[in-house]
Amino acid sequence: MLSVTRFLPLFFLFAAFVMAGPAVEQPKTLATKNGVVFSGVKTITREDGGKIKIEHQNGISRVSPTDLTVDSQKALGYEAKEDASAKLLKITDITTLDGKVYKGVSHIKSGPSSISFLHENGAATVRFDKLPREYSLACGYDPILSAEYDALTKKIALLEALQEHKQEQIDAKRKAIARRNRIANQIAMMDLMTDGDSSWLMSKREKMLHDAVRAKWIRKVEEEK
């Protein structure tokens, strides 16, 4: 009868091989999304933690499979999906739902509720709800995020309008106070001219005119309170 202990070393050797992952035949060149190129690739070994070890002509590098380009991931047998940035690079023309066409599109920047880009006639910003579905999805459109952003934008605009209105009221009040002070000073000066020894400088007609003007200014002060 065979002893189980005789096969234990072989079992542990096989388990270690499976866990470390076998070296896989690789293409001669691999590249990352940020532009790093590994030339003269010899072998790639899958390691614990999800990273892979690339042995190439310049040494050894360790990267995450998702850091590789879509073509490199597919060459290694991964089910790669194009990310938003890759999809944006493929967009050269944009036609909105209302029929407006933008040619030679480049430098697309996606925001919470719209995209901005350059085109052959200048620059433009278009809301996601004005774009066909394929463009919106390629630009990472999130309906919930877009709605929340629009609501926040409206709230901020309302607060700014209220603040502006409040400031206008404050400015108007300050101007009214300054005007009342000027009128009060003029009334005080006129009163000095008719008070005591200075009153003889004015004729009877001038005094009547003074009283009429004084009464008019006083009414203005009362109206502006």
Alpha-carbon Rg of the chain, whole angstroms?
40
222, pLDDT greater than 70: no
Enclosing domain of residue 137: 85-141
Read off the pTM: 0.40
What's the structural domain count of the chain?
A: 3
Last residue of a domain, one of 64, 81, 98: 81
167, pLDDT greater than 60: yes
Q: Residues 161, 131: one domain?
A: no
Q: Residues 154, 219: one domain?
A: yes
Determine the length of the chain: 225
More confident of the two residues 184 and 100: 100
Q: Residues 156, 137: one domain?
A: no
Question: Predicted confidence band at 21 (pLDDT cuts at 50, 70, 90)?
Answer: very low
Note the pLDDT of residue 124.
92
Q: Residues 172, 214: one domain?
A: yes
For residues 45 and 20, the answer to whether their CB atoms sit within 8 Å is yes
Q: Residues 188, 210: one domain?
A: yes
Note the pLDDT of residue 86.
56
Note the pLDDT of residue 68.
84
Note the pLDDT of residue 52.
86
Q: What mean pLDDT is predicted for residues 154-163?
A: 90
Last residue of a domain, one of 47, 64, 81: 81
Q: Residues 193, 209: one domain?
A: yes
Note the pLDDT of residue 87.
61
Q: Residues 201, 165: one domain?
A: yes
152, pLDDT greater than 70: yes
φ, ψ (nearest 5 deg) of residue 88 = -65, -35
Q: Residues 211, 166: one domain?
A: yes
Mean pLDDT over all residues of the chain? 76
Tokens encoding 210: 């003074």
In tens, the pLDDT along 36-77 reads 888 888 888 888 777 888 888 888 988 888 888 878 888 877
Q: Residues 219, 173: one domain?
A: yes
Note the pLDDT of residue 177.
80
Last residue of a domain, one of 35, 58, 81: 81
What CATH code is carried by the domain that includes residue 122?
Answer: 2.30.30
Q: Residues 61, 10: one domain?
A: yes
